[in-house]
Amino acid sequence: MDTGMIIIVAVAVTFILFFILSYNKMKKQEVNVENAFSDLDAFLMKRVDELDNLVQTARVATDKEMEVLKDVTALRAGVMNAPNMNKKIKAHNTLQQEMPNIMMNMESYPEIQFNENYLHIQRSINNIEEQIQAARRNFNSHTGKYNQLISTFPRNLIAGAFGFKKKPMFETPPEKRENVDMKALFDR
Amino acid sequence: MKKWDEAYQLERFAKTEEEFDAYYEEELKSDVERLEAERRKAIGLTKKQAMKLLPAVVVLLLSYFFWPFIIGYLFFGILFICTFLFKDIERNRRELEKKIKEELVTDIVKFINRRFTYSRRRYVPQEDFINSNIFDIDPNRYSGDDFIKGSVGSSVEGNPSGNRQPKTELMFSEVKAFHVVPFKDREGKKKQRIRPLFKGLFFVADFNKDFEGLTIVTPQNDRTVAKKQKKNSKGRLEEVELEDIDFMDTFDVRTTDQITARYILTPNFMNRLLSFTTRDRTKEIPKPASFKEASRIAMNARYSPQLNFVNPPYFSFKDGKMYFLLPTEKEHFTFSIYLPLTKEVMKGYFHDINIALELVDELNLNLRIWNKE
């Protein structure tokens, strides 16, 4: 075999190896993103479940049909029926934006405000909110790495050929980014 | 008077320099002066004994020039007399140290927090050190002293929000941890290779959230830290990349679970942890008023507060507990019989104990808006 041939074979082998390793790396990262989303989704669903508990508690405590409960049911359905990751993220963001209003509306009923069960669920929701934030940051970290991987040269060529597409980050709604005034919360 | 945090309506537990100054003048000063008088008396005894030795030293010098053949016997004779004469001095020193620790350190501990207890000879158990899982190897030589344990919080009195405050348990002590490996040299002699792991203050506190698993926060590029969870050899610790660039420039983070690590290390908590670690505490100390005061502080430097963290600390979070290791590389709550017992020495003790409460205050360890009692 002459030198030219050896060089061609070496280049081809290097290229194929790079191709295989890149594909595997992107696939692995994509799986990581999906796993991170599954973890996040589990916490998000836990919040929906707690919201259900909250609704039940409110019903028992007040013995009234409240307008706010209809809103909760609609938001819950939005989350449950979302067909894909993008829609789920949107539905959860809407739910997150509506959460403070729901809580405030419920607390306008004195029989709920001092209900032991309600207070327990409220703490539980606080805890889940923190876990959601952690899972969201974990998901965004994996998504960021994945998006960076598939959009830099020369991997973007392989990504394009095999249909690896950029994935959306789970951004916090703008009002969530503001600092929480704990004093106001306690005084409420 | 109790202090409260504006943002979270939490009681602040750490004492200020001014509070300590006032306490010193009102209560501690007379005890310090009494023990200082005892120290001077002990020094007087040392001088007296040294004078008794002077003729023997003169005889030793003369024998060196005139009767060199008896110098060996003379040397051992003098050594024997020395042991006899200085036995009392050593006993005095030990008694004085015991008194200082049992009276002064205990008083300072009670001033800082009435619910704290102090034990001179005890230390944070080795099991807790191993549990922190920070170092790649477990210590097989472990010692310490000056153990302080207690709780903060759970008081309703004076709280502007009227809510009962949660309780945070904490304990800390001075600790020295080594890993000793015996080996035989080429000639077959038994020797030991001693690897120092840690020397400094070791704190264990309740964390304000419930969690399972292990997350360790260690100084950047420290090669001594653990790469896996030891109790379960399969539990490899993964590196965590967090969003805070300054935090990641200072620390490496490893965990058994990425989400738990982020649940503990929220952006706010990372900020607090970083500022607690890098804050310049010397700015809070008033400058010495005179040259005499400055030189006295310099003389006591070894026993004075090491306010800023010279070596970066280690943090570990495991199953709802927080472990904090501050490698000061010095002895704490000690004193030298040859140096005056002053307010600066007391301030050193005060600062070492106050770190525990700063930890609770600055990291909001007593904040419970989560499902933890």
Alpha-carbon radius of gyration of chain A: 24
- Per-residue model confidence (pLDDT) at position B66: 79
What is the predicted pLDDT for the residue at B264? 93
What does the block give as tokens for A30?
């994509």
At B257-291, the pLDDT tens digits run 999 999 999 998 898 889 888 876 665 555 555 66
CA distance A11 to A4: 11
User: How much is the pLDDT for B298?
Assistant: 58
Q: State pLDDT tens for residues B351-372.
A: 988 888 888 888 878 776 555 6
Query: Residue B174: its pLDDT value, please?
Result: 94
pLDDT band per the 50, 70, 90 thresholds, residue A188: very low
Give the pLDDT band of residue A33 (cuts 50, 70, 90): very high
- Kindly indicate the confidence band of residue B245, based on its pLDDT and cuts at 50, 70 and 90: very high
Chain B residue whose CA is closest to A137: B262
Nearest CA in chain A to B242: A141
- Quick: pLDDT tens for B114-170: 889 999 999 999 999 999 999 989 999 999 999 999 988 765 455 555 555 667 889
Residue-wise burial string across B130-157, b where 16 or more C-beta atoms lie within 10 A, e elsewhere: bbbbbbeeebeebebbbbbbbbbbeeee
Rounded to the nearest angstrom, the gap between the alpha carbon of residue B206 and the centroid of all alpha carbons in its chain is: 19
* Mutation to test the B interface, candidates A138, A148, A169, most B Cβ within 10 Å: A138
CA distances from A170 to A57, A99, A180, B289 (A): 30, 17, 20, 57
- Domain range for A35 is 3-187
User: Searching chain A, which residue's CA lies closest to the CA of residue B266?
Assistant: A134
Is pLDDT larger for residue A173 or for residue B330? B330
Check residue B111 and give its pLDDT.
93
- The residues near B364 (Cβ < 8 Å, ≥ 6 apart) are B5, B8, B10, B208, B269, B272
Do the chains contact at A135 and B8, CB–CB below 8 Å? Answer: no
Percent helix, strand, coil in chain A, to 5, is 80, 0, 20
> Is the separation of the CB atoms in A135 and A36 below 8 Å?
yes
In order, the DSSP letters of B37-102 are HHHHHHHHHHHHHHHHHHHHHHHHHHHHHH-GGGHHHHHHHHHHHHHHHHHHHHHHHHHHHHHIII
The strand ranges marked E within chain B are 3-4, 11-12, 117-119, 141-153, 167-184, 190-206, 214-219, 238-239, 251-255, 314-318, 321-326
Residues 208 to 247 of B: which have CB under 8 A from any A CB?
A: 209, 241-243
Distance (Å) from the alpha carbon of B180 to chain A's nearest alpha carbon: 40
Indicate the pLDDT class of residue B336, thresholds 50, 70 and 90.
confident
pLDDT bin (cut points 50, 70, 90) of residue A144 is very high
Helix axes A85-107, A116-151, angle to 10 degrees: 150
**B75-124 pLDDT, tens digit each:** 888 888 778 777 877 888 888 888 888 899 999 999 998 889 999 999 99
Q: Choose the closest CB to A123 out of B242, B266, B371.
A: B371
pTM of the model: 0.80
> What residues in B contact A121, CB-CB < 8 Å?
none
Give the residue-averaged pLDDT of A77-104: 83
**B68: CB partners within 8 A, 6+ apart:** none
Average the pLDDT over B242-252 and give the result. 92
Rg (CA), chain B: 25
Separation in Å, CA A152 to CA A34, A80, A143, A144, B141: 21, 35, 14, 12, 52
Q: Among B161, B96, B81, which residue's Cα sits nearest to residue B367?
A: B161
CATH number at residue A89: 1.20.1440.20
Q: Is some CB atom of chain A closer than 8 A to the CB atom of B163?
A: yes
Tell me the pLDDT band of B232, cut-offs 50, 70 and 90: low
For B345-356, how does the pLDDT look when each residue is reduced to its tens digit (9 = 90+)? 899 899 988 888
Nearest to A135 among B242, B259, B369 (CB): B259
**Within an 8 Å CB–CB cutoff, is residue B266 touching chain A?**
yes
Give the mutation candidate from A37, A43, A137, A148 for the B interface (greatest B CB count, under 10 A).
A137
pLDDT digits (tens, 9 = 90+) for A48-79: 888 888 777 877 777 666 677 777 788 888 88
**pLDDT at site B195:** 92
Output the pLDDT for position B202: 95
ipTM: 0.79
- Give the span between the Cα atoms of B283 and B80, in whole angstroms: 51
Give, for A38, the enclosing helix (H) or strand (E). helix A3-62
**Cβ atoms < 10 Å from Cβ of B242:** 18
* pLDDT for the residue B154: 63
B2-33 tens-digit pLDDT = 666 665 556 778 888 899 999 999 999 999 99
The beta-carbon neighbor of B7 closest among A130, A137, A182 is A182
DSSP letter (8 states) at residue B355? H
Q: pLDDT at residue A39 above 60?
A: yes
Which of B208, B238, B253, B259 would you mutate first to test chain A, the one with the most A CBs within 10 A? Answer: B259
Alpha-carbon gap: B42 to the closest alpha carbon of chain A (Å): 57
In this predicted structure, what is the pLDDT of residue B306?
A: 52
Q: Do the chains contact at B163 and A134, CB–CB below 8 Å?
A: no
Flag whether residue B373 sits within 8 Å of chain A, measured between CB atoms: no
Q: Residue B225: helix, strand or coil by DSSP? A: strand
Q: What is the pLDDT of residue A45?
A: 86
- Phi, psi at A167, each rounded to 5°: -110, 150
Tokens 């759970």 correspond to B154
User: Mean pLDDT for chain B?
Assistant: 83
Query: Bridge-partner residues for B255, per DSSP?
Result: B215, B238
Number of domains in chain A: 1
How many whole angstroms separate alpha carbon B49 and alpha carbon B95? 18
Residue B263 near residue B208, CB atoms below 8 Å:
no
Q: What is the DSSP letter of B157?
A: T
Give the integer Cα–Cα distance in Å for B176 and B139: 9
Distance from CA of B322 to the nearest CA of A (A): 18
For the cut 60, the answer to whether the pLDDT of residue B305 exceeds it is no
Query: Is some CB atom of chain A closer than 8 A to the CB atom of B179?
Result: no
Residue A107 has pLDDT above 50, yes or no: yes
Q: What would the mean pLDDT of A9-29 be, rounded to a whole number?
A: 94
Q: What are phi and psi of A98, to 5 degrees?
A: -85, -20
Average pLDDT over residues B202-219: 92
